Amino acid sequence: MNRPIADSSKDPTAGLQCYQVGGAVRDALLGLPVQDRDWVVVGATPQDMTARGFTPVGRDFPVFLHPLTHEEYALARTERKSGQGYRGFVVHCAPEVSLEEDLLRRDLTVNAMAIDAAGHLIDPHGGRQDVSQGLLRHVSEAFVEDPVRILRVARFCARFSEFRIAEPTLALMRKMVEHGEVDALVPERIWQELSRGLMYARADRMLDALEACGALARMLPALSQTWSDSEVRAALRRSVNCDLPLPIRWAVLLHRLAIDQAGAVQTAVRAPQACSELAQMLIREQSELRRRDHDPQTRLTLLERCDALRKPDRFDWLLTALTCLQEDVDPGGNLWRRALGAARAVQAGVIAQAISADPASTRTERIRAAVAQARCAAIARASAS
């Protein structure tokens, strides 16, 4: 049956049953700034939406971008479990799906509220009360069908430090781990949630939540073994308190692992190159960086091993990460920064021009040796100052 389309020249949503849903409603109740608004549309078809100028963007179910605000509008839907993992679902999307049915499929009660066009709160699962009590509680037993929800709940613990997980919900999370649901999570999705959680002020609570339900030991067993180490917790806390970038937070989280263990963790989540390289470098070099008795040649060798001459900003991150590992304000960092600055100030091109013409291999070797000698001398002077 064709539906009448209202004049949408000024308002594409005119005549549609639109409800603001999810995190925007929750954050408004918490008095937090609302960053992104998501909407559910009831009683419409994909054809209705495109006729009004909405752009379809959903891959697994009908989601559309508003032609003016570019906010996301999803058609109301239900889901039925059809297999293991977070993609094992059959989605049913039709005009007869109600708002209440759509809210029922959501993960937590605090995310299962809606606001209608008149500004009235629709709260069939007690989300408002759970917001006021700081409780992360599942909406229904269907929570166990999607392992991503374990990661999301843990991330919410990091973001909302005053919230706690309801005991029945924690029990469901443990059940999901025991039944192997988390084994179906792909590395990219794990990293997406972990990396977001690490940037919140209570990143440690995310890891505590994953540990409490057994997910950390299942997904990242090596990291689970070191997370109980008070030094690891303190290092992560310092990196968070100093509002340091994600690669530094990731590096200090992994710094007590062996190289091969860190490699396994980073493969399991497919950490980005910047995070992976910094973590490996911190694990490998932390002991040497703390020493203050290196001779100039040893300092230059380490700088070259870390590719610091070409990537000084990354080396500075490495030194900053080192400060998070202990209470010292700067365990040798200034010495290394002076050494790097001195080595980089050496003009290799000028030295090369001064080397007389020889057979190519001999001249190259002489240039390399002369540049290294000049850099060692510069490092010696910088260290003595």
Dump pLDDT digits (tens) for 136-171: 999 999 999 999 999 999 999 999 999 999 999 999
What pLDDT score does 362 carry?
83
Task: Confirm whether 123 is domain-assigned.
Answer: yes
Tell whether the model's pLDDT for residue 317 goes beyond 90: yes
Domain count, the chain: 1
Q: What is the CATH number of the domain that holds 63?
A: 3.30.460.10
Tell me the C-alpha distance between 77 and 157, whole Å.
27
Tell whether the model's pLDDT for residue 297 goes beyond 80: yes
Residue with tokens 């290092």: 235
Tell whether the model's pLDDT for residue 294 goes beyond 50: yes
What pLDDT score does 8 carry?
43
**Least confident among 48-62, 79-93, 115-129, 170-184:** 79-93
**Angle formed at CA 105 by CA 104 and CA 107, multiple of 5 degrees:** 100
The helix/strand/coil state of 353 is helix
**pLDDT confidence band for 2 (50 / 70 / 90):** very low
Question: Region 282-289: what's the mean pLDDT?
Answer: 96
Alpha-carbon distances of 305 from 159, 213, 310, rounded to whole Å = 38, 40, 11
Tell me the C-alpha distance between 152 and 330, whole Å.
36
Backbone angles phi, psi at 29, to 5 degrees: -65, -30
Task: Confirm whether 206 is domain-assigned.
Answer: no
Structure tokens at 194: 């972990």
Tell whether the model's pLDDT for residue 356 goes beyond 50: yes
Structure tokens at 23: 């995190």
Tell me the C-alpha distance between 21 and 291, whole Å.
55
Question: Region 362-369: what's the mean pLDDT?
Answer: 88
Backbone angles phi, psi at 256, to 5 degrees: -90, 0
Higher pLDDT, 18 or 366: 18
For the chain, first and last CA: distance in Å? Answer: 84
Tell whether the model's pLDDT for residue 82 goes beyond 80: no
Structure tokens at 295: 């001779």
What pLDDT score does 66 carry?
95
| Per-chain mean pLDDT for the chain | 92
Question: Region 231-251: what's the mean pLDDT?
Answer: 97
Question: Region 58-79: what's the mean pLDDT?
Answer: 90
What pLDDT score does 169 carry?
98
Task: Confirm whether 99 is domain-assigned.
Answer: yes
Structure tokens at 247: 């690669």
Structure tokens at 158: 């990091």
| Cβ-based burial of 3 (10 A; exposed 0-12, middle 13-18, buried ≥19) | middle
Tell me the C-alpha distance between 50 and 200, whole Å.
38
Helix axes 246-254, 273-290, angle to 10 degrees: 60
Task: Confirm whether 22 is domain-assigned.
Answer: yes
Task: Confirm whether 95 is domain-assigned.
Answer: yes
Tell whether the model's pLDDT for residue 84 goes beyond 70: no
Task: Confirm whether 320 is domain-assigned.
Answer: no
What residues contact 311, with CB distance under 8 A and at least 6 apart? none
Higher pLDDT, 119 or 331: 119
Backbone angles phi, psi at 83, to 5 degrees: -175, -175
Task: Confirm whether 101 is domain-assigned.
Answer: yes
Alpha-carbon distances of 194 from 26, 190, 278, rounded to whole Å = 21, 6, 17
What pLDDT score does 319 carry?
95
Domain interval for residue 49: 1-133
What pLDDT score does 10 carry?
75
Tell whether the model's pLDDT for residue 6 goes beyond 70: no
Answer whether 163's CB lies under 8 Å from 157's CB. Answer: yes
Share of the chain above pLDDT 70, in %: 92
Task: Confirm whether 182 is domain-assigned.
Answer: no
Nearest to 142 by CA among 103, 116, 110: 103
What pLDDT score does 93 carry?
86
**pLDDT confidence band for 42 (50 / 70 / 90):** very high
Alpha-carbon distances of 25 from 17, 54, 336, rounded to whole Å = 17, 23, 50
Tell me the C-alpha distance between 281 and 320, whole Å.
13
Tell whether the model's pLDDT for residue 115 goes beyond 80: yes
What pLDDT score does 17 carry?
96
- In 19-88, which residue ranges form alpha helices assigned H by DSSP? 23-29, 46-51
